[in-house]
């Protein structure tokens, strides 16, 4: 028999399951009415993370959630390695003196650092910190690895956890003190080649997010909000149902700033010593999971795009009395055929649970397609297919089941993508005055405004309407059509204002 995964809950007592179902009915909450409570419930019931770990801001990734994280990471890693990034894994700790070599960088992160001060009972002479990001860990090695122009470009990436002591309120996946991400670091001969890599980084992140059916704004951060030590920063911001934008990825041109601090030089084609130009970019896998949940989920729970679902198809036998064995045997055959067609399949063959209980569970987990098989399907050599995002039912011949499921995947991805982009477009408003901006911010919108470029006007917007300038479009050129929304003076930029995690 083909090895496929059976439902892991088969040994649970039926009475306990019924009690849990009743508990859930009592605590059901609608996504649009109370997103925060809905989100916490999905994290718990869909086994994404458990936030009851006894250290604030740290969560345990459970099997389903970590499976999603690994698939997102794999999508990105494949693109990075096609672009000649070598996978690496650097140590978690960074020496204090190394971290302090780039002054602007340490100023940007010093308040968020976790310090290691002791080894056993002994006070360390040289403090270590848990990486908040890895530039200061990586560039001392770049100095050793790069000797000549023949060594460039050098591109590496790692998927790892990073640690930041967030002083704001923590929130699972959105704002934690430990989170999963992938970071890439590259070194180049000149500014222009590094800039080409910035564009390539943006392109790769866009492809990953498009595959996950997510909508986003690509924004160049204002000077005061760029990454510490960068020449400029590009960020991917996406909408959230609670009105706060979720920054899910950033791409930075670092120029010579870090290579000068860490003496990363190379011999050019004329035999002269030059500083390398570097870039870095990071995709917050934890935050991407949050975006997938927030954009696609519904009142039944998760709705996962097929590419990222740990299991893409769940098969639920629906036996009639006296036909149990025949139905289960047919369900096994269906599972083998679907898995043989390259699909990730789970067969929920626990006969002590009613089909409705199984439907509830797998809808909460967001499995893209449910396959129902009963005596009618056995008789006709067919399957009944239920698409998770719409719960629409269709029928297919068993011989055509793999193609039918894949066709549903394609339709589902198109629908999820269009719904996400439609929601983003509806979230964006325009304001010409502070009063209009205040009203739209109270409606929890993303607001497009004209800005003169001064820090004072940016601070005024933050103080008077509780909105942050997120940046100007990087992928689309937009020209101001009126005066600065804050001071009424001549505007230089069109920027987007919102609240943010």
**pLDDT tens, residue by residue, 328-376:** 999 999 999 999 999 999 999 988 889 999 999 999 999 999 999 999 9
- Check residue 322 and give its pLDDT: 81
Number of residues written out for the chain:
501
Per-residue pLDDT tens digits for 203-240: 999 999 999 999 999 999 999 999 989 999 999 999 99
- Check residue 168 and give its pLDDT: 72
Residue of 466, 419, 417, 496 whose CA lies nearest to 235:
496
Supply the DSSP string of 201-263, one letter for each residue. HHHHHHHHHHHTT---EEEEPPGGGS-TT-SEEEEEEE--TTSEEEEEEEEEEEETHHHHHTT
340 touches 394 (CB < 8 A): no
- Check residue 351 and give its pLDDT: 81
pLDDT bin (cut points 50, 70, 90) of residue 170 is confident
431 touches 485 (CB < 8 A): yes
Residue of 304, 295, 415 whose CA lies nearest to 365:
304
Mean pLDDT of 414-443: 98
Which class is 60-294 in CATH?
A: alpha beta
Q: Which residue has the tokens 């993303």?
A: 446
* Mean of the per-residue pLDDT values of the chain: 93
- 313-412 falls under which CATH superfamily? Anticodon-binding domain (3.40.50.800)
Per-residue pLDDT tens digits for 107-140: 767 788 999 999 999 999 999 999 999 999 999 9
* Delimiting residues of CATH 3.30.110.30 domain(s) in the chain: 428-500
pLDDT at 442 over 50: yes
* Delimiting residues of CATH 3.40.50.800 domain(s) in the chain: 313-412
Strands 468-473 and 217-220: antiparallel
344 touches 368 (CB < 8 A): no
In sequence order, what E strands does 52-92 have? 60-61, 86-87
* Architecture (CATH level 2) of domain 428-500: 2-Layer Sandwich (3.30)
């Amino acid at each position: 028999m083909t090895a496929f995964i059976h439902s892991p809950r088969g040994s649970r007592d039926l009475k306990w399951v019924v009690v849990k179902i009743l508990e859930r009915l009592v605590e059901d909450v609608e996504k649009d009415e109370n997103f925060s409570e809905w989100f916490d419930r999905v994290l718990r019931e869909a086994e994404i993370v458990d936030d009851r770990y006894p250290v604030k801001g740290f969560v345990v990734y459970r099997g389903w959630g970590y499976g999603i994280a690994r698939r997102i990471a794999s999508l990105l890693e494949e693109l990075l390695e096609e672009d000649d990034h070598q996978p690496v894994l650097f140590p978690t700790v960074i020496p204090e003196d190394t971290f302090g070599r780039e002054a602007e960088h340490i100023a940007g992160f010093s308040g968020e650092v976790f310090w290691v001060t002791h080894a056993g009972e002994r006070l360390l002479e040289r403090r270590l910190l848990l990486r908040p990001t890895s530039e200061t860990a990586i560039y001392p090695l770049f100095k050793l690895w790069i000797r000549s122009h023949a060594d460039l470009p050098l591109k590496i990436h790692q998927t790892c956890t990073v640690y930041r002591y967030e002083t704001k309120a923590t929130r699972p996946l959105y704002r934690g003190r430990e989170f999963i991400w992938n970071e890439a670091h590259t070194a180049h001969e000149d500014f222009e080649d590094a800039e080409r890599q910035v564009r390539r980084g943006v392109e790769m992140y866009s492809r990953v997010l498009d595959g996950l059916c997510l909508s986003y704004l690509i924004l160049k951060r204002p000077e005061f909000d760029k990454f510490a030590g960068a020449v400029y920063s590009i960020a991917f911001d996406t909408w959230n149902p609670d009105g706060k934008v979720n920054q899910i990825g950033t791409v930075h041109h670092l120029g010579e700033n870090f290579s000068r601090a860490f003496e990363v030089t190379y011999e050019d084609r004329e035999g002269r010593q030059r500083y390398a130009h570097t870039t870095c970019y990071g995709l917050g896998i934890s935050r991407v999971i949050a975006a997938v949940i927030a954009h696609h989920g519904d009142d039944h729970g998760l709705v996962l795009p097929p590419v990222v679902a740990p299991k893409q198809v769940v098969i639920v036998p629906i036996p009639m009395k006296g036909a149990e064995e025949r139905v289960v045997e047919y369900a096994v055959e269906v599972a083998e055929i679907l898995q043989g067609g390259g699909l990730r399949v789970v067969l929920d063959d626990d006969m002590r649970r009613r089909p409705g209980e199984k439907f509830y569970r797998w809808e909460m987990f967001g499995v893209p397609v449910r396959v129902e098989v009963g005596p009618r399907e056995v008789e006709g050599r067919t399957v009944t297919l239920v698409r998770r995002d719409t719960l629409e039912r269709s029928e297919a011949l068993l011989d055509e089941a793999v193609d039918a499921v894949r066709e549903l995947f394609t339709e589902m991805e198109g629908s999820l993508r269009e719904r996400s982009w439609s929601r983003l477009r509806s979230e964006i408003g325009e304001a010409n005055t502070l009063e209009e901006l205040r009203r739209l911010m109270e409606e929890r919108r993303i607001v497009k405004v004209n800005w003169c470029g001064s820090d004072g006007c940016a601070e005024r917007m933050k103080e008077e309407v509780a909105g942050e300038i997120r940046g100007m479009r990087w992928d689309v050129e937009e020209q101001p059509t009126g005066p600065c929304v804050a001071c009424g003076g001549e505007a230089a930029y069109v920027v987007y204002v919102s609240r943010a995690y």
